Amino acid sequence: MSGHSKWSNIKNRKGAVDKKRSEVFTRASKNIMTALRSGGGMALKTAIDQAKAVNMPRENIERLQNRYEEKKANLVYCRFEGFGPFSVPLVIEVETDNKNRTIGEIKLLFRDIGGSLGSVGCTGYMFSGSKCTQPIKLNSESEVFQVMDLIEALEGHDDVVNVFSGFTLNV
């Protein structure tokens, strides 16, 4: 009678259902945290409504909001500078609660997509506010796409506030 244990069947079914539910809750939690970081308002209301639509408990939503308030008190502003593909200067402004984690993740993005994260001051002198005073001229659209891939990956990071770049398309 192997394979006919009622408890084993229940355990396996419950495990699969719990895994799917966990994935949905994780997605809803990320949406709520993103909305909180962006300032709340309608985005937060929409994210909370979506979380309630997937039956996320109110306690979980409140716990996320409390955790964000605690993190907000410990946020640190950082500025990273580096060179993207084809030596395009980049300045990345970050607000994070863990500087070491964030710098590791940003270094990984630079390494995977191309470029290098430099020391403070390596590209900062090229920028005046949000504009690059000495833009690099790129010769083809494929070069622009490689640089844009890195910029989009950086902007997609949770802790990144702004990304400033300096390049133009040489037509």
Is the distance from CB of 144 to CB of 138 less than 8 angstroms? yes
Q: Domains (ranges, CATH) in the chain?
A: 6-73 (1.10.10.200), 76-169 (3.30.70.980)
Residue-level pLDDT, tens digit, the chain, 171 residues? 556 788 888 888 898 888 888 899 988 988 888 888 777 788 889 999 999 999 999 999 999 999 888 877 788 888 888 888 888 888 898 988 888 999 999 999 988 888 888 776 677 777 766 666 677 788 788 888 888 898 888 888 878 888 888 877 665
For residue 121, give both structure tokens.
């001051």
- Give CA separation, 156 vs 20, 76, 105, 141, in Å: 25, 19, 12, 22
CA angle 61, 59, 46 (to 5 degrees): 25
